[in-house]
């Protein structure tokens, strides 16, 4: 499935259960449900999230808050725990687009020092391989650079921005 086939909605600023709109500064929970067509995002108020019985149904979830218009920053602000969980959950995927997501998220986590880049190898006739260390678990990670076209990177970046309500730009990788 191509990235362009996925239609992950941006946060709606309202609870998927109650329909209540979130106010500036209000905390809420976002969750990704994996379907055969890709990821579907759901947002939950604190109360609705607490009452939700099966959180294991989600591919990934995180707590966030509505950013007020006057809080905008030029600095890349991402929820490190959410990106880290997303990265870990993508580890066993064989889907090409998910492999590309994992690679991009890894680059962001290196930038944020959650993962450490130890070395890069360029084996003859093979894709570049990144050798990383997970700074939380101290486990080594080998990550092959997935084959991709520039437009796929742009699509993946835009999809990550939609999923996580952030403003990742090409300079962030």
- For residues 134 and 86, which has the higher predicted lDDT (pLDDT)? 134
Q: What is the DSSP string of 92-132?
A: T---HHHHHHHHHHHHHHHHTTSEEEEEEE--TTS--EEEE
How far lies 12's CA from each of 70, 81, 135, 157, in Å? 19, 21, 33, 19
Mean pLDDT for the stretch of residues 137-142: 95
DSSP strand pairing (115-121 vs 60-65): unpaired
State the pLDDT at residue 2. Answer: 45
What is the rounded average pLDDT for all residues in the chain? 80
- Tens of pLDDT, residue by residue over 89-102, are 889 888 888 888 88
State the pLDDT at residue 50. Answer: 92
Mean pLDDT for the stretch of residues 133-138: 95
State the pLDDT at residue 8. Answer: 54
Torsion angle, alpha carbons of 117, 165, 51, 46, to 10? 100
State the pLDDT at residue 56. Answer: 84
Which residues constitute the domain of residue 7? 3-172
State the pLDDT at residue 4. Answer: 43
Which 3 state secondary structure label does DSSP give 91?
coil
How far lies 149's CA from each of 5, 44, 91, 136, 169, in Å? 16, 35, 21, 31, 17
Please give the tally of structural domains in the chain.
Answer: 1
Residue 45 has what DSSP assignment? E
Residue 127: pLDDT band with limits 50, 70, 90: confident
pTM value surpassing 0.75:
no
- Tens of pLDDT, residue by residue over 24-77, are 888 888 888 888 777 788 899 999 999 988 888 888 788 877 776 665 554 456
Residue 59 has what DSSP assignment? S
- Tens of pLDDT, residue by residue over 3-39, are 444 455 556 688 999 998 988 888 888 888 888 777 7
How far lies 162's CA from each of 40, 101, 120, 127, 138, in Å? 11, 13, 30, 28, 30
Edge-to-edge order in the sheet of strand 27-35: 38-45, 27-35, 60-65
State the pLDDT at residue 51. Answer: 92
């Amino acid at each position: 499935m191509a990235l362009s086939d996925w239609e992950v909605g941006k946060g709606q600023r309202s609870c998927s259960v109650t329909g209540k709109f979130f106010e500036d500064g209000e905390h809420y929970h976002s969750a990704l449900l994996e379907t055969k067509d890709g990821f579907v995002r759901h947002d939950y108020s604190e109360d609705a999230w607490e009452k939700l019985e099966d959180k294991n149904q989600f591919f990934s979830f995180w707590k966030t808050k509505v950013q007020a218009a006057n809080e905008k920053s030029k600095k890349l602000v991402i929820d490190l725990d959410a990106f880290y969980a997303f990265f870990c959950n993508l580890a066993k995927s064989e889907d090409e687009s998910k492999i590309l997501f994992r690679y991009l998220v890894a680059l962001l986590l290196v930038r944020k020092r959650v993962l450490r880049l130890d070395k890069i190898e360029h084996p003859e006739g093979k894709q570049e391989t990144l050798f990383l260390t997970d700074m939380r678990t101290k486990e080594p990670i080998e990550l092959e650079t997935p084959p991709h076209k520039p437009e796929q990177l742009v699509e993946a970046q835009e999809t990550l921005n939609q999923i996580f309500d952030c403003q990742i730009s090409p300079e962030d990788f």
